[in-house]
Amino acid sequence: MGVLEILALSAAGNILLVYKLLKTKSRLRRAVHSIVEVGEGRAEVIDLGDRIAVRHKLITNEDNVTL
C-alpha cells in the first residue's frame, strides 16, 4: 500500500470521525434541551419500556406572553 492510499484512508477516517462528533453533539444538545424543558415543567418524561420519550406540553397561560 502506497503513501497516497494511506493518506486517503486517513482522510476518510478523519471525515467519518468529524461526522460522528457532529452527530453526537447534536444528540447531546437535544438531550440538554429536553432536560431543561422537563425541569421547567414544559415537558414530561414518558416511559416506553426499553427507552424514554419527552412530550412537550402546550402552554395555554396567556400571562406568559410578552411583546
Mean pLDDT by 10 residues, the chain (67 residues): 83 93 94 89 89 81 58
Contact 9, 19 (CB under 8 A): no
What is the rounded CA–CA span in Å between residue 41 and residue 38?
5
Per DSSP, 43 falls in state E
Q: What is the pLDDT of residue 65?
A: 56
Query: In angstroms, what is the C-alpha Rg of the chain?
Result: 21
Q: What is the pLDDT of residue 19?
A: 95
Q: What is the pLDDT of residue 3?
A: 84
Q: What is the pLDDT of residue 66?
A: 57
pTM: 0.59
Q: What is the pLDDT of residue 32?
A: 92
